[in-house]
Amino acid sequence: MVQLYKQPDPSTVRGEGTEGLSGPGANVTYIPLSELENFLQIHKGHTLALLYYGKGFKSLSPDLYPTIQLDLPQLSSPPLAEVWTSARPARYYQEHQFNAAMNDQVAFGCLQLEESGANGLEATAYSAYSRILRFTQELNYPNLLRIWNHFPAINLKQGGLERYQWFCIGRHQAFLECQVDFGRLLPAATTVGTSSGILQVHFLAGRHKGQHIENPRQVSAYHYPRIHGPRSPSFARATLEEIGARKRLFISGTSSIVGHAIQHTGNPSEQTTETLRNLEALFKHAGIGSTIGIRDLAGEGLLKVYIRNPDDLETVQNTLDTRQTEAPCILYLKGDLCRRALLVEIEGILEIL
Ligand code: 3EB
């Protein structure tokens, strides 16, 4: 059985935010809500973004930095928040529906857009991506490293297509206009449906290049055949960031898809195991780890596990063998995955030492 390894004592990554402790670029950690206020105090002026998962949080921040509340209910406890910080002091940027925080190496940005007009989600996704691409060019963070997309009713059919497919069309069009080869352009991503809200897109971009990696067990998403939608999903399976001595792998939402077909319909345990096989193949292909399990990878990581049906939580946890992990390193979230038959999806950030 593949076991997910444990994150080292978080106190070692909660220091004063010096480069030695927390690395260049951006740092990310999950913090129990009970410790959040203190953590934000310590990182005053160095916070890049704050993410809440679920509903009804009272924001602690003065909203200088992107604060994002995603209606992806947490299935495990204690409830956690996700905080991105910077060793160097952060600068902040704001325009209509768009917040960003940056240092001299990376920018973390967030767009929150109401769907409007006849084309709704397609046009809104196009607008979001056009603005992100313009922002990253103009402020000189031209390399996208990681993107997350969230919107409600992702599997709902509207005008002959599912909303996810409309989203893919708008996103694809914006990337197409860059006139850059998709294999070099597209970063790791996640697209998971929320229970409520508007279109929320957040991203990390850098002055340094990321290396985008595909999975030999899976057809590249940007080459998916048209049976999955008129425009293919625009993302890489992973992006490897190298900044100074730091190496970090941003792993896209990964699920029980081999080739381009879903495996194990209706079986959450098998889907989880298939997902782990995909992750192992990805790691091997990226030259980190091999046939060994995730837990054997040196370093530390953060994982998000999205589950469609909360009743599957225990099954998924048992299959991952993480029930004993008293980890603030795994967030279990209820989310709607972009194809109806998908029951579980795993994404992660692995620090490679
Ligand atoms: C898949 O492999 C599963 O459209 O941004 C995973 C990660 C998935 C990102 C996206 C979709 C996306 O096709 C779905």
pLDDT of residue 301: 79
**What separation, in Å, do the N-terminal and C-terminal C-alpha atoms of the chain show?**
24
pLDDT in tens, 300-330: 678 999 999 999 999 999 998 765 554 558 8
* Residue 140: alpha-carbon gap to chain centroid: 22
pLDDT of residue 220: 98
Which protein residue has the closest C-alpha to ligand 1 atom 6? 253
Q: Band of the pLDDT at 299, cuts 50, 70, 90?
A: very low
For every residue of 178-219, DSSP letters joined together read T-S-HHHH--EEEEEEESS--EEEEEEEESS-EEEE--TTB-
* Ligand 1: centre distance to CA 253 (Å): 6
pLDDT for residue 217 is more than 80: yes
pLDDT in tens, 157-207: 999 999 999 999 999 999 999 999 999 999 999 999 999 999 999 999 999
* Ligand 1: centre distance to CA 39 (Å): 32
pLDDT (average), residues 196-220: 97
How many whole angstroms separate alpha carbon 276 and alpha carbon 256? 9
pLDDT in tens, 61-83: 666 899 999 999 999 989 999 99
pLDDT of residue 300: 64
CA distances to 13, 24, 68 from 44, rounded to whole Å, are: 16, 17, 18
Least confident of 76-90, 91-105, 245-259, 286-300: 286-300
Which protein residue has the closest C-alpha to ligand 1 atom 13? 221
pLDDT for residue 3 is more than 70: no
Residues lining ligand 1, Cβ inside 6 A: 149, 189-191, 221, 233, 235, 252-253, 255, 257, 338
Query: What is the set of active-site residues?
Result: 345
Choice from 190, 305, 306 to test ligand 1 binding pocket (greatest atom count within 8 A of CB): 190
* Ligand 1: centre distance to CA 348 (Å): 13
pLDDT of residue 296: 44
pLDDT of residue 15: 35
How many whole angstroms separate alpha carbon 294 and alpha carbon 321? 11
Least confident of 12-16, 218-222, 331-335: 12-16
pLDDT for residue 209 is more than 80: yes
DSSP class of residue 119? T
Looking at ligand 1, which atom is closest to the CA of residue 237? 7
Amino acid (1-letter code) at residue 314:
E
Choice from 162, 175, 191 to test ligand 1 binding pocket (greatest atom count within 8 A of CB): 191
For every residue of 18-58, DSSP letters joined together read -HHHH-SS-EEEEEEHHHHHHHHHHTTTTEEEEEEESS-PP
* Contact residues for 279 (Cβ-Cβ < 8 A; gap 6+): 251, 254, 294, 346, 348
Nearest in space to 144 (alpha carbons), one of 192, 87, 201, 82: 201
pLDDT of residue 62: 61
pLDDT in tens, 236-289: 999 999 998 889 999 999 999 999 999 999 999 999 999 999 998 999 899 886
pLDDT of residue 7: 39
pLDDT of residue 119: 72
* Ligand 1: centre distance to CA 229 (Å): 13
pLDDT for residue 291 is more than 60: no
Choice from 231, 338, 340, 344 to test ligand 1 binding pocket (greatest atom count within 8 A of CB): 338
Least confident of 15-24, 106-115, 203-212: 15-24
pLDDT of residue 246: 87
Tell me the average pLDDT of the chain: 88
pLDDT for residue 16 is more than 70: no
How much is the pTM? 0.93
pLDDT for residue 19 is more than 80: no
Tokens 């973004």, located at residue: 49
Neighbours of 271 (CB within 10 A): 28
Looking at ligand 1, which atom is closest to the CA of residue 233? 4
State the burial class of residue 97 (Cβ atoms within 10 Å of its Cβ: 0-12, 13-18, 19+).
middle
Which protein residue has the closest C-alpha to ligand 1 atom 11? 191
pLDDT of residue 238: 98
pLDDT for residue 5 is more than 60: no
* Ligand 1: centre distance to CA 305 (Å): 14
pLDDT for residue 13 is more than 50: no
